[in-house]
Chains A and B, each alone.
Chain A
Amino acid sequence: MLNQAELALLKAAIRMNMIVMGIAFGLLGGSILWLGTIILLLRGGYDVGLHLSLLSVFLPGYSVTWGGAWIGLVWGFAFGGLSGAILYWSYASTLRERLASRLLNARDATNELTPPTFLMSGNALGIALGVLLALQLFLTTNWLVVRGTAGNSPNAALLGQYLPGYTVSFSGSLVGAMELFAVAFVLSHVLAAIYNFVARERTR
């Protein structure tokens, strides 16, 4: 059990790292959507970005235009940032005090400015990423259901190719969310195993 000061320190650390992860994912999310839009505009052609512009269903104001690219940047930053913050919060909350044991060379670092290296927990990452992605699939699918366009969403329904049983409906979103959780959990273990292996090899 952690004492009160350690608990306060842990909460403060999680809060600070949530912001940092939010900024990292926000920058990534915003720049991906901005760049994705800009590339299509530069390529030009007839009916530019017919599929990408469907994102306006979820991101009001977004379109595959020069102005829409900047609106996409803001939405991408907001959604990416929120996802990153939730991902870290969920990850760290699962590990809690065990967070401190997931470090390489924790006791060797003698200088405050040379912090140890972070090791990943496949289980905690799997739960965090799985819950996040499952929740996102559930919410986006049911947003289509609520606005009454579920029947006119053939592109969303294509997810059923990868997630058997998924349909653009409430029950389909539950099935898809569970399957996506499982996929994310497995991929998180792969990610954590490779990351930890390479990180350990590099600090030998």
Chain B
Amino acid sequence: MQQSTLAYARSKPDRGDLIARAAFARLDVVALAVAMGCVFALGLWFATAMLLLKDSPPGVPIGPNLALLANYLPGYSVSWIGSLLGGFYGFLIGCGFGAIVAAVWNVAHHIYLVITTTRRYFAGDL
């Protein structure tokens, strides 16, 4: 971001300052992890439950393709118990994804902010 643009916006007390703050706003790691965990859990539970509710003719397995998730999620199957286990795994995976996205976001902004502040300090702006 241009130094002059940032400096101008910071001299204006309200909107420009808020935009600059919004640019560097951090994501709450725990909140994003929990939120993505819940959405993933809901998604995997619903995907399994939908196949179970649709059912299949006698002798034909239900959801053989979705059941391949058992390669990655031990114990998972397209069954009601499997849907709960899938929901649990979905929560863990979603938590992991959310935490990674939020952590990368925060660290990248922090690094950028530290570099910019250090540059301004050595340039005599601070």
Contact A194 B38 (CB under 8 A): yes
Contact B15 A6 (CB under 8 A): yes
* Shortest Cβ distance from A201 into B: residue: B31
List B contacts of A161 (CB < 8 A): 50-51, 54
Report the Cα distance A134→B97, complex, angstroms: 21
List B contacts of A195 (CB < 8 A): 28, 31-32, 34-35
List A contacts of B27 (CB < 8 A): 117-118
Contact B26 A13 (CB under 8 A): no
* Shortest Cβ distance from A14 into B: residue: B23
List A contacts of B12 (CB < 8 A): 5-6
Scan residues 78-114 of chain B and give those whose CB is less than 8 A from a CB of chain A.
97, 100-101, 104-105, 108-110, 112-114
List A contacts of B51 (CB < 8 A): 161
* Shortest Cβ distance from B9 into A: residue: A9
Report the Cα distance A112→B25, complex, angstroms: 11
Scan residues 178-204 of chain A and give those whose CB is less than 8 A from a CB of chain B.
187, 190-192, 194-199, 202-203
* Shortest Cβ distance from B65 into A: residue: A158
Least distance between A132 CB and chain B CB atoms (Å): 15
List A contacts of B117 (CB < 8 A): 112-113
Known: A6-B16, A36-B72. A12 touches B113 (CB 8 A): no
Checking A12, A99, A196 against B1 with a beta-carbon cut-off of 8 angstroms, the contacting residue is A12
List A contacts of B32 (CB < 8 A): 195
List B contacts of A106 (CB < 8 A): 18, 21-22
Contact A9 B72 (CB under 8 A): no
Least distance between A162 CB and chain B CB atoms (Å): 6
* Shortest Cβ distance from B28 into A: residue: A199
Contact B28 A117 (CB under 8 A): yes
Contact B108 A20 (CB under 8 A): yes
**Mask: chain A, 104-142; 1 = CB below 8 Å from B; 0 = not:** 001001001101111000000000000000000000000
Checking A12, A25, A102 against B2 with a beta-carbon cut-off of 8 angstroms, the contacting residue is A12
List B contacts of A36 (CB < 8 A): 72
Least distance between A133 CB and chain B CB atoms (Å): 12
Contact B65 A155 (CB under 8 A): yes
Report the Cα distance A36→B30, complex, angstroms: 25
Contact B72 A194 (CB under 8 A): no
Complex A-B: 13 CB contacts under 8 Å = A2-B15, A16-B23, A17-B23, A100-B22, A102-B22, A103-B21, A113-B117, A115-B113, A117-B27, A118-B22, A161-B51, A187-B39, A191-B36
State the A residues within 8 Å of B (CB).
Answer: 2, 5-6, 8-10, 12-13, 16-17, 20-21, 23-25, 27-28, 36, 39-40, 43, 51, 97, 99-103, 106, 109, 112-113, 115-118, 155, 158, 161-162, 187, 190-192, 194-199, 202-203
The 5 closest A-B pairs by CB, nearest first: A13-B23, A198-B31, A100-B18, A195-B35, A24-B104
